[in-house]
Amino acid sequence: MAVSTLVYNTFIRRNSVFVSTILLGAFAFEIGFDSTIDKYWDRLNAGKQWKDIKHKYITAEE
């Protein structure tokens, strides 16, 4: 009971803080979701993307 009251008082009571919390949550979710999905995609396609095979095609450094 007290935890929910604490959460309400700090994050939900003032609408400005509530809006900020929602926006920060969206921002954090975007970062987390994008990096997770990118890592999964890279693992699924390991060895096929340019960044993986680039080192084989480097001729003499100019």
Q: Nearest approach, Cβ of 35 to other proteins (angstroms)? A: 7
Residue 31 binding other proteins, by CB under 8 A = yes
- Output Rg (C-alpha) for the chain, integer angstroms: 22
Stretch that binds other proteins, among 4-12, 24-32, 40-48 (CB under 8 A): 24-32
- DSSP for residue 46: T
Is residue 24 at the binding interface for other proteins, with CB under 8 A as the rule? yes
Within the chain, residue ranges assigned H as helices are: 2-7, 15-44, 50-53
Rounded distance between C-alpha atoms, residue 48 and residue 51, angstroms:
8
Site for other proteins, rule CB under 8 A: 14, 16-17, 19-20, 23-24, 26-27, 30-31, 35, 50
